[in-house]
């Protein structure tokens, strides 16, 4: 097994020979060490939040007297903000700390409680809404909608950060023309730290792309692609930045080559379809709220909620599985077909617009186009 790289004192030639001594068998062993990730995708977290909200509504309706009596004791904005931060393991705070060069604050200790905090937060939000409704107020207000979207955005932030960390900027990942080296980094405590690590490494000379797959403090896989430099240079850059951050570095392999496009499975097709629907709800709903604010004179909170929903849409798109492809233009074109069909559905069920045969046939053709684009076999 390659030995851990600690403090300074390595000459570049010694460093290169040690890093590149990892055999194929070693690479396979290290890959087998990687454990499945805990549930935390956009679909999982969003579904949990919606179910918890519905549960809160039902509980409040069942225990009506208690809810009305204690409705004023729960501050909705406070629940949404604090609950959203706790549900994300304070990921937003760690990202802000990274901007001022503050190291990990230890928020990763909250990762185990993410799902319980999510259920509690959105359950309380649903309970509060039903309590207000039973007390004679409206069930849904613009303020409560903004609070819900803000809380959901905070809760989804770890998934968004993970997608950003694992997103490759290389347009042709299958090309063997660029040097590419893969490492195992130990001591990286959270996704926020992984994000800061990627940002700092991308600023180094000769580093063209970085993909950080963080799983735990003892297991973060970093793939570094050079612009035209040697693999030895990339290894030197990795060693220097890991020493500065007091991380432990171990070489897994070198000259990692991009594989073929991941094939579709039932699970990936279901995930991609669910993400398309979530993207459509965020974009159409956000655009509708902005429309109401600008064109119909609704309050500024409509515009603010719409802007948040549109920003959330931008992050949801990045969660598409590898089988959907790496080209944004093609993926967005396929999503366009789903968007058209969902826009017709929104007009029918939200605005009461009558759909004629042309609308229905056109929507069906768009969905058929989505199937062709996403299912077409490509090299």
Answer yes or no: is 343 within a domain. Answer: yes
Same domain, 224 and 244: yes
pLDDT digit string, tens, across residues 215-227: 776 778 887 877 7
Same domain, 113 and 182: no
Same domain, 291 and 366: yes
pLDDT value of position 378:
67
pLDDT value of position 215:
76
Answer yes or no: is 213 within a domain. Answer: yes
Same domain, 59 and 148: yes
pLDDT value of position 339:
93
Same domain, 301 and 337: yes
User: How many domains, the chain?
Assistant: 3
For CA atoms 121, 86, 152, 330, the dihedral sign is: negative
Same domain, 279 and 315: yes
Tell which of 197, 228, 254 closes a domain.
254
- Whole-model pTM? 0.57
Residues of the chain with pLDDT under 50: 1-40, 68-69, 71-73, 171-175, 255-261
Answer yes or no: is 2 within a domain. Answer: no
Answer yes or no: is 261 within a domain. Answer: no
Task: Please classify residue 100 by burial: count the beta carbons closer than 10 Å to its beta carbon, then call 0-12 exposed, 13-18 middle and 19+ buried.
Answer: exposed
Among 195, 193, 186, which Cα is nearest to 160's?
A: 195
Range of the domain at 302: 266-375
Answer yes or no: is 93 within a domain. Answer: yes
**pLDDT averaged over every residue in the chain:** 75
**Residues in CB range of 240: below 8 A, 6 or more apart:** 204
Same domain, 183 and 139: no
Same domain, 177 and 29: yes
Q: Report the length, in residues, of the chain.
A: 379
Same domain, 209 and 157: no
pLDDT value of position 366:
92
Tell which of 254, 276, 303 closes a domain.
254
d(CA 66, CA 307): 36
pLDDT value of position 69:
43
Cβ proximity of 371 and 337 under 8 Å: no
pLDDT value of position 249:
79
Bridge partner residues of 225 (DSSP): 180, 209
Same domain, 179 and 101: no
Answer yes or no: is 4 within a domain. Answer: no
Tell which of 208, 230, 254 closes a domain.
254
d(CA 102, CA 196): 10
Answer yes or no: is 362 within a domain. Answer: yes
Same domain, 157 and 175: no
Bridge partner residues of 226 (DSSP): 207
Answer yes or no: is 6 within a domain. Answer: no
pLDDT digit string, tens, across residues 226-266: 776 667 777 788 888 888 888 887 765 554 444 444 567 77
Same domain, 157 and 58: yes
> How many Cβ atoms sit within 10 Å of the Cβ of residue 130?
24
């Amino acid at each position: 097994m390659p030995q851990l790289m600690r403090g300074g004192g390595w000459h570049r030639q010694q460093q290169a020979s040690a890093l590149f001594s990892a055999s194929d068998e070693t690479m396979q062993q290290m890959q087998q060490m990687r454990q499945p990730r805990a549930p935390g995708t956009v679909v999982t977290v969003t579904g949990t939040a919606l179910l918890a909200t519905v549960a809160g509504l039902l509980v409040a309706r069942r225990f009506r007297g208690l809810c009305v009596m204690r409705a004023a004791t729960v501050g909705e904005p406070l629940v949404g903000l604090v609950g959203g931060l706790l549900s994300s393991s304070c990921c937003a705070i760690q990202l802000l700390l990274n901007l001022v060069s503050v190291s990990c604050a230890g928020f990763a200790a909250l990762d185990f409680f993410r799902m319980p905090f999510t259920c509690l937060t959105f359950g309380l939000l649903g309970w509060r809404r039903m309590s207000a409704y039973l007390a004679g107020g409206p069930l849904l207000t613009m303020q409560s909608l903004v609070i819900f979207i803000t809380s959901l955005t905070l809760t989804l932030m770890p998934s968004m950060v993970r997608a950003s960390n694992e997103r490759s900027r290389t347009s042709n990942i299958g090309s063997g023309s660029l040097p590419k080296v893969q490492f195992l980094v130990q001591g990286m405590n959270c996704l926020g730290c992984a994000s800061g690590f990627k940002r700092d490494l991308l600023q180094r000379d000769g580093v063209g792309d970085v993909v950080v797959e963080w799983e735990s403090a003892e297991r973060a896989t970093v793939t570094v692609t050079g612009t035209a430099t040697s693999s030895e240079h990339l290894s030197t850059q990795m060693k220097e930045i890991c020493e500065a951050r007091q991380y432990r570095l171990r070489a897994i392999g070198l000259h990692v080559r991009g594989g073929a496009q991941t094939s579709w499975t039932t699970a990936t097709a279901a995930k991609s379809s669910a993400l398309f629907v979530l993207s459509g709800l965020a974009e159409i709903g956000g655009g509708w709220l902005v429309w109401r604010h600008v064109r119909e004179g609704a309050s500024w909170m409509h515009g603010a909620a719409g802007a948040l929903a549109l920003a959330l849409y931008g992050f949801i798109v990045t969660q598409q599985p590898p089988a959907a492809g790496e080209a944004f233009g093609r993926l967005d074109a396929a999503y366009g077909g789903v968007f058209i069909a969902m826009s017709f559905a929104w007009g029918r069920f939200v605005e009461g617009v009558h759909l004629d045969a042309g609308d229905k046939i056109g929507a069906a053709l768009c969905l058929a186009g989505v199937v062709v684009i996403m299912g077409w076999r490509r090299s």
